[in-house]
Amino acid sequence: MCRPIHVDKRYARYALAWQTRHYVPEDMDARSAGGNFTDISLRTTVISATDTLIIFRPEYKHGTTRSKPLVDRGGVAITFSAHILEAFQKAKAAEEKGSLVETLGGETTAENLF
């Protein structure tokens, strides 16, 4: 069974998923333990293992298979979310207009806000 298949709105061409930990009990087949990355568009599944780095195209349909009980996994995804880029661009535009507030300690008052 898969978690919902999805695509991601990203500003970078690729995203990364680093599986830093993937423990499967000895009496369980690692191939069917779950937590595997699946790219539906490419019809490919990457069987999870500790220290596995997956680089993928976020606009392709993908998901992760559901882990079975007692499977312990962890990792980090670097996905270059579009909403973070949009927030950065808004802040940069506000800064260029002189409306971004940055204080380096001290009290914030009406005089040092504008």
Tell me the residue type at 113. Answer: L
Helix (H, G, I), strand (E, B) or coil at 84: helix
Work out the pLDDT band at 90, boundaries 50, 70, 90: confident
Over range 19-26, report the average pLDDT: 94
Q: Please give the torsion angle defined by the CA atoms of residues 77, 83, 89 and 94, in that order, rounded to the nearest 10 degrees.
A: -130
pLDDT at 114: 46
- pTM for this prediction: 0.68
pLDDT at 87: 83
Q: Is 84 a residue whose pLDDT tops 90?
A: no
pLDDT tens column, 26-74: 999 988 899 999 999 999 999 999 999 999 999 999 999 999 999 999 9
Residue found under tokens 């980090």 = 76
C-beta neighbour count of 55 within 10 angstroms: 10
The values of phi and psi at residue 64, to 5°, are: -130, 130
Residue ranges per domain, the chain?
15-98
